[in-house]
Chain A
Amino acid sequence: AQSVTQLGSHVSVSEGALVLLRCNYSSSVPPYLFWYVQYPNQGLQLLLKYTSAATLVKGINGFEAEFKKSETSFHLTKPSAHMSDAAEYFCAVSTTSGTYKYIFGTGTRLKVLA
């Protein structure tokens, strides 16, 4: 069975600082991995996805993530935080093993300090 663990339910960074949000996954078959962002009172919006092509994935708004099979990780980074990046971020995994399932992590709330 697949699962996702997001380390750190709350992360604070200063404006202009590096953003690093951690995600580790567990899957018995090659996974598809996703990062979504959720702003207050809104649905989720896709930032980026890994589907077994390039291990370094670039997404929207300057975010990127690197798939590391040896570490079973898919951490999200952004070189320079903006105030508008303050939101909740979710890592998700899905596979084609068995019936369809899409598993989200518990989320990391990013706070950007002026």
Chain B
Amino acid sequence: DAGVTQSPTHLIKTRGQQVTLRCSPISGHKSVSWYQQVLGQGPQFIFQYYEKEERGRGNFPDRFSARQFPNYSSELNVNALLLGDSALYLCASSVGQAAKNIQYFGAGTRLSVL
């Protein structure tokens, strides 16, 4: 079975631009979470979506938004990019929204903002 897939794998943008990252969860998983991992740090929780609704949100500005589609895939959008948005963006899927569920991670999208 395919794992969590993310696209694109790498992306280069300039300050002020907008970016959309995509994630396809493991088949049968209904929850998708997004994380930002800055070099040398642990992943920071951005959003969790379950059944197309936002179920959790981390301490990120409104420039960050996401949505989940009927097939449970998800997109993360970041507007007005800043240099500090340069990071590895990880998507994780799980069976449900419960806090005890194991999260399965994709390989990430590396975003560079110039």
| A contact set with B: CB distance below 8 Å | 32, 34, 36, 41-46, 49, 51, 90, 94-96, 99-107
Contacts and interface: CB of A to CB of B under 8 A. Distances in A.
B102 A49 contact: yes
Contact of B98 (A49, A96, A99, A105): A96
Interface in B54-72: 55-58
A99 B42 contact: no
B107 A49 contact: no
Contacts, number: 60
A48 B11 CA distance: 32
B100 A51 contact: yes
A42 B110 CA distance: 11
B33 interface: yes
Contact of A99 (B55, B90, B100, B107): B55
